[in-house]
Amino acid sequence: MRIPVDRDGPTPIWRQVAAALRTEILSGALPPGARLPSTRRLAADLSVSRILVENAYAELAADGLVEGRPGSGTFVAGAAPGRPVSTAPVDEVSFRGVGDPDLYPVKAMTNTIRDVVRRDGSAVLGYGAEVSGHPPLRATIAQMLASQGIHVDPRDVLITSGSQQGLALVFFALLRRGDPVVVERPTYDGALELLANLGAEVIGVDVDRDGMRVDQLADIVSRHRPRLIYTVPTFQNPTGASLAGDRRRRLLEIAESVDAVVVEDDFVGDLHYDGPTQPALRSLASPGRVVYLGTFSKLLMPSVRVGYLVADREPMERFVSMKRSLDLSTSLLMQVALDRYLAVGRYQAHLARCARLYRPRRDALVAAVRRDLGWDVSPPTGGLFLWARLPSGLGSGALADAAEKRGTGLAAGAPFFPDGVGGERFARLNFVVNGPERMREGVRRLQLAVEDLHGPAQR
């Protein structure tokens, strides 16, 4: 406890101590039920006689601010407040979020964490030997990627604290303020916020049902000479579109022609519902062209906070230094537990289960949105998101506010567009997060929200 004490001033020390504590208590910083340090310890901390601290506590007790409990110490008067975990109200049905929390493999991961701590003890509670991440996990991820046709050396894998950190690492390491960056329009809002924080110049390329309009790209790169091209080629966020095979090859050629690095954000590329997925850009590209980002947060559980990036030797050194600068290391405990979970094939089984359950949810939401809301949607072949074009006159910002009042939620379109332009006509709905009944209830509330804005005639 550090209370500034003026030893030479006119106010007695015990009054200074009492005044400092009184301020804390009245402001709520020391809430009811909080325990004060023992008089012995506080006296030692402040290098004052214990009797002075006892005087201070006695004054506070006389004011009714603290109470002594025999045998256990001195406490701020009143009951201790409860500390529930704050979550969304039980009855909110949101179309935001990532995976369905009811499918998180809670028990398996908790048991794995417990087993790892039992087996390895404090060895897994430190920082870990390598900033790049736990070597066995990197090997397991390399193996998992190999089974997806992406050939990587485990040394080219860097463990990140979620794929958002992967993005931050790459952008901060490779970009300077004012550098031009090409992105899809619309694209992941978190990438746009990061680029804004960095002060990069953001240039959008339109997206259609086959992904980025690569036909616009050649002209744009020759004019702007971007250092980076950021793309979510598979089950894009927010549109759900997948970049067609010929466009993938053309994108890489164009990047090659101006020596731009392609940042491939494959956040849910392994969650597909209708037949094969296009090969990753990383598997088609020549060495050094593509930095690949993956994550376990979306489908396993966000609290794991483990993602990864794949890059070649040269930029990797800069990424490792930036990783150390951003957070020293990703939790070793989580890395070891995740490696255990992955290595026995549980993640593949979990993915397969998610895909089985999520596919009919997609179909149901697509049907309901068309039938009950009359919105225009193209069903994506994988991933999490449905991108809806709203009827004319219905703005997504106002809709999101109205939806919140009705106990539901969706993502308004504007944050997915550079400068927000063009987003008002669109909204993003997560189709995996709710089971059938909650989904129906959510759509009903969206109907009500639309009526709140336009009256029942709108339907």
Stretch that binds a copy of itself, among 23-31, 214-222, 250-258, 443-451 (CB under 8 A): 23-31
Q: Does 155 bind a copy of itself (CB under 8 A)?
A: no
Considering Cα of 179, then 183, then 187, then 190, what sign does the dihedral take?
negative
Q: Does 74 bind a copy of itself (CB under 8 A)?
A: no
Q: Does 278 bind a copy of itself (CB under 8 A)?
A: yes
Q: Does 334 bind a copy of itself (CB under 8 A)?
A: yes
Q: How far apart are the first and last CA of the chain?
A: 63
Q: Does 78 bind a copy of itself (CB under 8 A)?
A: no
Q: Does 379 bind a copy of itself (CB under 8 A)?
A: no
Rounded CA separation 53/12 (Å)? 11
Asked if 400 and 412 touch (Cβ cutoff 8 Å), the reply is: yes
CB 454 to a copy of itself: min, Å: 30
Helix pair 436-454, 396-405: axis angle to 10 deg: 120
Q: Which of 37, 374, 397, 435 binds a copy of itself (CB under 8 A)?
A: 37
Residue 282 or residue 373: which is nearer to a copy of itself going by CB? 282
CB atoms under 10 Å from CB of 106, counted, come to: 12
Q: Does 407 bind a copy of itself (CB under 8 A)?
A: no
Stretch that binds a copy of itself, among 170-178, 200-208, 211-219, 356-364 (CB under 8 A): 170-178
CB 458 to a copy of itself: min, Å: 32
Q: Does 44 bind a copy of itself (CB under 8 A)?
A: yes
Q: Does 246 bind a copy of itself (CB under 8 A)?
A: no
Q: Does 153 bind a copy of itself (CB under 8 A)?
A: yes
Range list of β-strands (E), 326-446: 376-377, 385-389, 408-409, 411-412, 426-430
- Dihedral in degrees, nearest 10, Cα atoms 318, 322, 324, 326: -170
Q: Does 225 bind a copy of itself (CB under 8 A)?
A: no
Stretch that binds a copy of itself, among 163-171, 222-230, 254-262, 372-380 (CB under 8 A): 163-171
The count of residues interacting with a copy of itself (CB under 8 A) is 106
Q: Does 143 bind a copy of itself (CB under 8 A)?
A: yes
> Which of 361, 362, 415, 410 shows the shortest CA–CA distance to 390?
410
Q: Does 36 bind a copy of itself (CB under 8 A)?
A: yes
Range list of β-strands (E), 325-445: 376-377, 385-389, 408-409, 411-412, 426-430
Q: Does 16 bind a copy of itself (CB under 8 A)?
A: no
Residue 23 or residue 222: which is nearer to a copy of itself going by CB? 23
Range list of β-strands (E), 390-455: 408-409, 411-412, 426-430
Q: Does 257 bind a copy of itself (CB under 8 A)?
A: no
**What residues contact residue 298 under an 8 Å CB cut-off, 6+ apart?**
98, 99, 267, 268, 384
> Which of 171, 166, 158, 167 shows the shortest CA–CA distance to 128?
158
Range list of β-strands (E), 255-379: 261-265, 290-295, 307-310, 376-377
Q: Does 161 bind a copy of itself (CB under 8 A)?
A: yes
- Sheet strand arrangement including 385-389: 376-377, 385-389, 426-430, 411-412
Residues 100-119 that bind a copy of itself (CB under 8 A): 101-102, 104, 106, 109-110, 113-114, 117
Q: Which of 58, 77, 284, 398 binds a copy of itself (CB under 8 A)?
A: 284
Residue 24 or residue 54: which is nearer to a copy of itself going by CB? 24
